[in-house]
Amino acid sequence: MEFDIFFSISQTPVNGHTPSEAQMFASFFDQVVAADELGYGVAWVAESHFSSEVQKTHKKPVIPHWQGEVGLNTDILQLATRVFARTRQIEVGSAVMNILVNGGPVAAAERIATFLGLHGLDPAERRRLHVGFAAGRFDFMARTTGVVPRNELEEVAWSVLKGKLFAEAAEIFLRLLAGETLNSDRIRETQLTRRDFRTDEDWQRVRDAAGGPALDAIPIERRFAFENVKIIPQELRRELLNLVIGSHEAQLQESVNRICPVQIFNLSITASQIIDDTHRRMAGAYHREGGPWKRSYMPRTVMVFLNEEPGLPTEARRRAAHVEARAALGAYWTALEGTLDPTRVENAAENALVGTAEDVAQQIVERFHPKDRLMLWFDFFNHDSPRVIRNMQAFMSKVRPLVEARLTS
């Protein structure tokens, strides 16, 4: 089993206190340096764009009750440069890069090429950049940079069309990173059909908007139109780049792997049946240049509420961990939806790792496959950086040995 670490850099109030941006970044670098020393594999960092506070003034805010900023990392490439400069062995990953915003997939591919061109100048460099990429969770970020419905048809179909748009962007992004000279005429055509929609009524509304009630397929004009282009620099050490798609769409997971090796970004709350099905499917669909598919190619995020604080008996630490988990999860759901939903808090707590080192080790062994790769999230609604680091240390010094012992027994 492999252990990575996830950082949100989320500037939100906790117990009435909101750290400054400088404090947030200082805590992040303290924690990522500690993660490097402790032996975590990859530091995955959440990406966000534009102020979460300001979006509450929009006509249709997507998170109207959120306090503070969802995240402060807007550019994993700049952040990764500083992380690599301060550490010795840990790798860096984006969780996840939105390839629709800020210039779209062409610009995103060239920014990564520039990073790789510089990062790979040292022939002794072996640490990889893991680019998790997706369409972005919050629609206001894409709309702010011009990714909006262009007509009535696209407005009606937008919930489905945005996924199609991401598929178009992903193909451009990956083919450019693979070194191709490309123009938009060589990219897949986008069309809408009945199977894209949940109900006949939804499909009929789209057909009506297209002006053809009996249409079986509705073509959509390309979103990204360009003549021949090839990104620079071109002399890249592509072995220093690992690509990970943030999509649960089986067809898309397989289609991108016809271009190059692309792994899968996953959430721990995904049903185990879907996870197992994905592993079976990807064993045959993973691009041949990536070698045999491994379970570690689908890293899974999981929140950790560990209490191994000195001076407390076991049962007190166990209770304290559960109190911490419910407080953090309650604050999260209140911020996200405006109300406290005890059921959601309880479900989230059941999916998290909560308790003493003994408890957390047992939960890992029971819930995960021995060859899984976990992205451990310690800083969830927690600005006490020294405590976060102690939890990171306790995991590696106490939890990990227990897990390894039980997996080999």
Q: What are the tens digits of pLDDT across the range 32-86?
A: 999 999 999 999 999 999 999 999 999 988 889 889 999 999 999 999 999 999 9
Burial of residue 76 (CB within 10 Å: 0-12, 13-18, 19+) is buried
Q: Is the peptide bond before 131 cis (omega within 30 degrees of 0)?
A: no
Burial of 344 (0-12, 13-18, 19+ CB in 10 A): middle
Does 103 have pLDDT greater than 80? yes
- Whether the per-residue pLDDT at 118 is higher than 80: the answer is yes
- Among 95-109, 125-139, 196-210, 323-337, the range scoring the smallest mean pLDDT is 323-337
Quick one: average pLDDT of 227-238? 95
Question: Cβ distance 35 to 45 under 8 Å?
Answer: no
Averaged over 251-275, what is the pLDDT? 90
Q: Is the pLDDT of residue 195 over 80?
A: yes
pLDDT digits 0-9 by tens, 203-218: 999 999 998 777 899 9
Instruction: Say what the pLDDT of residue 139 is.
Output: 84
Q: How confident is the model at residue 141 (pLDDT cuts 50, 70, 90)?
A: confident
For 370, the 3-state DSSP assignment is coil
> What's the helix, strand, coil split of the chain in %, to 5?
50, 15, 35
Q: At what angle do helices 76-86 and 104-119 cross, to 10 degrees?
A: 20
**What is the arithmetic mean of pLDDT over 150-154?**
96
Q: For residue 340, name the pLDDT band (cuts at 50, 70, 90).
A: low
Residue 268, pLDDT > 90, answer: no
**pLDDT over 90 at 166, yes or no:** yes
Question: 329: helix, coil or strand?
Answer: helix
* Residues whose CB is less than 8 angstroms from the CB of residue 407 and which lie 6 or more positions away in sequence, other chains included: 1, 365, 370
CA distance 185 to 352: 46
* 124 has a pLDDT exceeding 90: yes
pLDDT value of position 345:
67
Ranges 120-134, 160-174, 330-344, 367-381: which has the least confidence: 330-344
Ranked by mean pLDDT, the top range of 142-151, 349-358, 394-403 is: 394-403
Structure tokens at 102: 């800020």
Over pLDDT 90: what percentage of the chain?
85
Do 325 and 305 meet the contact criterion of CB atoms below 8 Å apart?
A: yes
Mean pLDDT over each residue of the chain, to the nearest integer: 94
- Structure tokens, 407: 């997996």
pLDDT average, residue stretch 102-124? 97
The pLDDT, as a whole number, for residue 233 is 95
**Measured between alpha carbons, how far is 354 from 327 in angstroms, rounded to an integer?**
12
Instruction: For residues 2-28, give the mean pLDDT.
Output: 96
